[in-house]
Amino acid sequence: MKTITTTQALEEYCIRAATFPFVTIDTEFLRERTYYSKLCLVQLAVPGSDDEEDAVLVDPLVDGLSLEPLYDLFRDESVVKVFHAARQDLEIFFVEAGVFPKPLFDTQVAAMVCGFGDQAGYETLVRKIMREQVDKSSRFTDWSRRPLTDAQKIYAVGDVTHLRGVYTFLAEELERSGRAGWVQEELKVLTSSATYIIEPAEAWRRLKTRTNSGQFLAIVRELARFRESHAQGRNVPRNRVFKDDALMELASTKPANMNDLSRSRLLLREARRGDIADGILAAIKAGLAVPKDQQPSPARSGREKLQVNPALADLLRVLLKARCEQEKVAQKLIANAADLDAMAAGKRDIAALSGWRAQVFGDDACLLCDGKVALVAKGARVETIPVPDAS
């Protein structure tokens, strides 16, 4: 297969790709040592055979190579851009260039709509749809090292050549079933900048805490804010600054000076001095200074914060499972356990009750919650029947 190492060659390929109805795309990257992914390789394929004119590798690590021709292709809405499990790929392109490929097709999302289960892997789809095997022996190699081996190249290009057949099958299945709109509704999240922007002030929300102390949470918030800002600014993983368990320890012990900080059991050695140590102490001081009426409210989790009817929640689970089996769509795509608990507590502002989800599950779920239908077992099927008006 051909490896593109110049902007001119990439431009020529992308101009040719723009004459096709779709192009399949994948990336190889590293993220173990950085906050943002380091793009190491881009794989592209257009409909056709597997020769070097149809499937190519693009080496973004070559000095002087610009990916702008690829971004122009992304902006060309006459060509469908096909990915599998696109989120991390799209994050790379959004961070690098602020661009999203449109129109987008994600074969993992489409597979969930077409009955291949929750988050079907690429190898699974290739095996079930194309009746072929994917060589994954190079999955965990270092993609930043050059030169690439033949095995790496074969592995990488396989991620876009098989994808052509997978896309064609799924696109035809969606057209046949009338579910193409379902996929497009799901993909709106993937092409929203809010999906990829982590605001340091909100970073604390991803942490799990068990406390009723607003002051503790205020310190956690300030420590998480500092850590996220520091990690983003220096492009290092947040855990390289300090880990979650160390953050919780600091919020609990509240060190006031370097001597106190040195007593931490969980803090990395590098975090006990310099900019990180100064930032930790400043964050703790800021957290302690937050007025009581501005401290984060302790949020109870799960059923504890909702008045959930557990029997109703279980009935909703049965209904969801039954409908997803009947419609051959992944349960995870419609609702999760928290959504069902929220419905059983009387909440109605959840995604499962709108759009295509309402047709499959939400409308009958509301009737079940309101006592207007009941569930009955008919052989291997679970169905709803109207409940006579008791009045």
pLDDT digits (tens, 9 = 90+) for 2-24: 999 999 999 999 999 999 999 99
Q: In the structure encoding, which two tokens stand for residue 160, read together? A: 């876009």
* Residue with more model confidence, 299 or 185: 185
Pairing verdict, β 381-386 and 22-30: unpaired
Mean pLDDT of the chain: 93
- Angle (CA) 154 90 148, round 5°: 25
Q: What is the arithmetic mean of pLDDT over 197-207?
A: 94
pLDDT confidence band for 131 (50 / 70 / 90): very high
User: How far is it, in rounded angstroms, from Cα 67 to Cα 70?
Assistant: 5
Residues above pLDDT 70, as percent of the chain = 97
* Confidence (pLDDT) at 34: 96
* Confidence (pLDDT) at 52: 60
Q: What is the arithmetic mean of pLDDT over 98-114?
A: 96
Res. 209: pLDDT tops 60:
yes
Same fold flag, 2-195 and 200-294: no
* Confidence (pLDDT) at 298: 72
**What is the CATH class of 302-386?**
mainly alpha
Q: What is the arithmetic mean of pLDDT over 201-222?
A: 93
* Confidence (pLDDT) at 81: 98
Of 92, 94, 88, 72, give the one whose Cα is nearest residue 23: 72
pLDDT confidence band for 302 (50 / 70 / 90): very low
Task: Give residue limits of the domains in the chain.
Answer: 2-195, 200-294, 302-386
Burial 263-297 (b: 16+ CB within 10 A, else e): ebeebeeebbeeebbebbbebbebbeebeeeebbe
* Confidence (pLDDT) at 50: 61
Q: What is the arithmetic mean of pLDDT over 30-36?
A: 94
CATH number attached to the domain at 2-195? 3.30.420.10
Q: What is the arithmetic mean of pLDDT over 353-375?
A: 95
Q: In the structure encoding, which two tokens stand for residue 363, read together? A: 């409308």
Q: In the structure encoding, which two tokens stand for residue 38, read together? A: 């380091």
In the 3-class helix/strand/coil scheme, how is the chain assigned residue by residue? CEEECCHHHHHHHHHHHCCCCEEEEEEEEECCCCCCCEEEEEEEECCCCCCCCCEEEECCCCCCCCCHHHHHHHHCCCCEEEECCCHHHHHHHHHHHCCCCCCEEEHHHHHHHCCCCCCCCHHHHHHHHHCCCCCCCCCCCCCCCCCCCHHHHHHHHHHHHHHHHHHHHHHHHHHHHCCHHHHHHHHHHHCCHHHCCCCHHHHHHHCCCCCCCHHHHHHHHHHHHHHHHHHHHHCCCHHHHCCHHHHHHHHHHCCCCHHHHCCCCCCCHHHHCHHHHHHHHHHHHHHHCCCHHHCCCCCCCHHHHCCCCHHHHHHHHHHHHHHHHHHCCCHHHHCCHHHHHHHHCCCCCCHHHCHHHHHHHHHHHHHHHCCCEEEEEECCEEEEEECCCCC
Burial 192-231 (b: 16+ CB within 10 A, else e): eeeebeeebeebbeeeebeeeebbbbbbbbbbbbbbbbbb
Res. 28: pLDDT tops 80:
yes
pLDDT confidence band for 214 (50 / 70 / 90): very high
Res. 299: pLDDT tops 90:
no
User: How far is it, in rounded angstroms, from Cα 225 to Cα 222?
Assistant: 5
* Residue with more model confidence, 50 or 68: 68
pLDDT confidence band for 144 (50 / 70 / 90): very high
* Confidence (pLDDT) at 49: 67
CB-CB contact of 360 with 348 (8 Å): no
**Torsion angles phi and psi, residue 104, rounded to 5:** -110, 145
* Confidence (pLDDT) at 303: 44
Res. 180: pLDDT tops 80:
yes
* Confidence (pLDDT) at 307: 87
* Confidence (pLDDT) at 301: 42
CB-CB contact of 4 with 63 (8 Å): no
Res. 42: pLDDT tops 70:
yes
List residues bridging with 43 in a β-sheet.
26, 57
Q: What is the arithmetic mean of pLDDT over 104-127?
A: 93
Res. 205: pLDDT tops 50:
yes
**What is the CATH class of 200-294?**
mainly alpha
Q: In the structure encoding, which two tokens stand for residue 25, read together? A: 């795309």
How many CB atoms are located within 10 Å of the residue 388 CB?
7
User: How far is it, in rounded angstroms, from Cα 83 to Cα 101?
Assistant: 10
CB-CB contact of 309 with 344 (8 Å): yes
Q: What is the arithmetic mean of pLDDT over 192-203?
A: 95
Q: In the structure encoding, which two tokens stand for residue 368, read together? A: 């079940």
